[in-house]
């Protein structure tokens, strides 16, 4: 159970949230086209920039300084990691397989908005027809949202 908790802390989305809270995007030097396409808000760029900051602290001040920075920035997330660690897609797949159903399918329903701020809508569907939709700024997040919603429904007996 350690790996899923660790993954919840270091995945791109979490690192981007931490970077966003620090307003790290405002400090990034970007090319013109990246700046015009909303690069200061892109999760991948924010996550990479935060990793670079941590690496710079490590190289400049050593392990203990980097460790202290990580603990300060991730403090509340570390304490709450158990709630975030449950991967909804994996949990939904396990639920389905435990009942003799094939793994759920994920259908891309829509992609809206400009390239720098897309909005994806995805449907998670079980072979018995039960389904739920999720919407987010990244396809993976939309899949997770759809799986979380469907899992909540089937576990509660709502659907």
In eight-state DSSP terms, residue 27 is G
Domain that residue 115 falls in:
88-156
Total domains, the chain: 2
CATH number for the domain including 32?
Answer: 1.10.1520.10
What digits encode the pLDDT tens for the residues 70-106? 999 988 888 777 655 567 898 899 899 999 999 999 9
- Kindly state the average pLDDT of the residues 19-23: 91
Looking at the structure, do residues 106 and 137 belong to the same domain, yes or no?
Answer: yes
* Exposed e or buried b per residue across 20-35, where buried means at least 16 C-beta atoms within 10 angstroms of its C-beta: beeebbeebeeeeeee
130 and 74, same structural domain? no
Q: Are residues 8 and 75 in the same domain?
A: yes
Distance from CA of residue 54 to its chain's centroid? 20
My answer on whether 10 and 67 are in the same domain is yes
Q: What is the pTM of this model?
A: 0.55
Written as one string, the DSSP assignment of 90-153 is HHHHHHHHHTTPPPPEEEEEEEES-TTS-EEEEEEE-TTS-EEEEEESSHHHHHHHHHHHHHHH
CA distance 121 to 12: 20
What pLDDT, in 10s, does the model give residues 23-71? 999 999 988 888 888 888 888 899 999 999 999 999 999 999 999 999 9
Q: 98 and 60 in one domain?
A: no
Do 104 and 88 touch, CB atoms closer than 8 A?
A: no
Average pLDDT over residues 105-119: 91
Is the distance from CB of 88 to CB of 147 less than 8 angstroms?
yes
Tokens representing residue 128 in the block: 């018995």
102 contacts: CB under 8 Å, gap ≥ 6: 96, 127
Count CB atoms within 10 A of the CB of residue 110: 14
29 and 42, same domain (yes or no): yes
DSSP letter at 25?
G
Top pLDDT among 9 and 53 is at 53
The confidence score (pLDDT) of residue 84 equals 53
Both 79 and 92 in one domain: the answer is: no
> What's the pLDDT at 77?
82
Tokens of 8: 């919840």
Same-domain status, 102 and 43:
no
Task: Find where tokens 């158990």 sit.
Answer: 82
Residues 71 and 98 in one domain: no
Of the candidates 22, 54, 84, which is a domain's last residue?
84
Q: Are residues 65 and 6 in the same domain?
A: yes
Last residue of a domain, one of 84, 99, 122: 84
């Amino acid at each position: 159970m350690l790996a899923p908790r660790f993954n919840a802390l270091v995945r791109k989305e979490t690192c981007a949230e931490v970077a966003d809270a620090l307003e790290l995007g405002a400090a990034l030097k970007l090319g013109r086209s990246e700046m015009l396409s909303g690069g200061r808000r892109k999760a991948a760029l924010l996550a990479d920039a935060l990793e670079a900051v941590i690496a710079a602290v490590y190289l400049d001040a050593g392990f203990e300084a980097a460790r202290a920075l990580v603990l300060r920035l991730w403090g509340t997330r570390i304490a709450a990691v158990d709630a975030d660690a449950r991967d909804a897609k994996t949990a939904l797949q396990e639920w389905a397989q435990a009942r003799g159903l094939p793994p759920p399918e994920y259908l891309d329903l829509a992609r809206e908005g400009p390239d720098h701020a897309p909005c994806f809508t995805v449907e998670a569907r079980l072979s018995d027809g039960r389904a739920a939709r999720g919407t987010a700024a990244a396809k993976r997040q939309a899949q997770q949202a759809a799986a979380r919603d469907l899992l909540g429904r089937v576990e509660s007996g709502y659907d």
